[in-house]
Amino acid sequence: MGRAWWILVVLGFLGAHNAWAVEVQDVRLWRAPDHTRIVFDLSGPAQHSLIVLSDPGRVVLDIQDTDLRADLAKLQLSNTPVSSVRSGIRDGDDLRVVLEITDKVDPRSFTLKANEQAGDRLVLDLYDQQASQTTEVKKTVQHSAKRDLIIAIDAGHGGEDPGAMGPNRVEEKDVVMAISRELNALLEADPGFKPTLIRTGDYYVSLKGRRDLARERQADLFVSIHADAFKRKEANGASVYALSTGGATSTAAEYLAQRENAADLVGGVSLSDKDDVLAGVLADLSMTSTLDTSLKLGDKVLRNVDGVAKLHKRQVEQAGFAVLKSPDIPSILVETGFISNPQEAGLLATTAYQKKIAAAIHRGIREWFKAHPPSGTLLAWQKQQGAEEYIIARGDTLSGIADRFSVPLAELKSYNSISNSSRILVGQKLNIPKS
């Protein structure tokens, strides 16, 4: 009887111990251009250690007092340096996860505490060792005589951070990626412009990392694309934002900035990625023309978006968006609509509307830089020559083009040998005389 009682006590203790153990509830993987990220969703906080082994290459994660409830076999390992993943038990209670590695990587791991938007997580980033070399090559070939303007297009959120969620599970990260790709295509077809996508796929980039990539690529403009969300579903309309060195221009702007700045909590950023020089950045901004350019260029974009979407505010708003805090690059954030509004979410999910929004943003950017081209650019050279080339886009009219470039309509027609009965076509090239 006594022995049986002790067996029950031990079994009870083991059962209770197992119930107290942390669980890996899910495992997710994303591939970025320079690294592979694997995220372990935990039921609570857990200690871990990272070991790197060679011959063969392996990365080993030991997670203390943790049970695996997720299926590692579901991870899509193609196009990653990981060939296989296996798991086992170590020291009785600890979970060991072993990743077989085919290429040289720089592994980094960190934990994220639970917050309002996500639970406890363990993040493993496997950085490609060759990534830094390709960046340097790009920097040496971009700025030359009659260079193109470099436009950094930042699709917000990504990866494990879906952004705002609309009806029928429309995710902000997918909508803004589609709009960003449309904008990228329009700028690629536009002589004098060279677009670059900050995020090229479904993965997360930290807010500081987005600014750093724009700077590495020597961007002339940083434009971040988002789809707004608010507590009330009735809220609607598109907006354009610039950085504020003081307070926000409205309660809604302050709320939005706080929500967007919290993206790193969901996307997953290690302590080493935190930005601790924002005060200096703001001081630099107040002493340069960067913020002034951001506001004026943002107004051009807003005026063009007004022809496609209802505006939430009729002027460029300002708030403390972390992603806009570049002291040397004009930066704007475009909220293409409220994805929390059922009607606008339906529009934002359609290819036709995405194209219209992208075209409006493109026109605004183009109009500003055609009128204010930085020295050394192709656009600046064209302006000095007394005429410039314009490619007709969908929705353009001769009178609208004449107004845009401040050229008399009759002079525009005469300069291009266009009669009153002539039709203009999408893709047709016009020479714009100097006004």
Domain limits, the chain: 19-129, 144-371, 386-433
By CB atoms closer than 10 A (0-12, 13-18, 19+), residue 326 is buried
d(CA 411, CA 330): 34
H helices of 130-171, in order, are: 131-141
Q: Characterize the bridge pairing of strands 35-42 and 121-128.
A: antiparallel
CATH class of 19-129: mainly beta
Superfamily of domain 386-433: LysM domain (3.10.350.10)
Low-confidence residues of the chain, pLDDT below 50? 6-17, 132-144, 276-277, 286-287
* CATH of 144-371 among 3.40.50.300, 3.30.2310.20, 3.40.630.40, 3.30.750.80: 3.40.630.40
The separation between the first and the last C-alpha atoms of the chain, rounded to the nearest angstrom, is 105
CB atoms under 10 Å from CB of 214, counted, come to 27
Q: Do domains 19-129 and 144-371 have the same CATH topology?
A: no
- Over residues 341-380, the pLDDT tens digits come to 999 999 999 999 999 999 999 999 999 998 899 989 988 8
What pLDDT does 10 receive? 46
Cα distances (angstroms) measured from residue 309 to each of 127, 153, 187, 240, 317: 41, 20, 21, 12, 17
What pLDDT does 271 receive? 52
What pLDDT does 14 receive? 47
What pLDDT does 278 receive? 52
Confidence (pTM): 0.74
Residue with tokens 């592994």, as numbered in its chain:
107
What pLDDT does 285 receive? 54
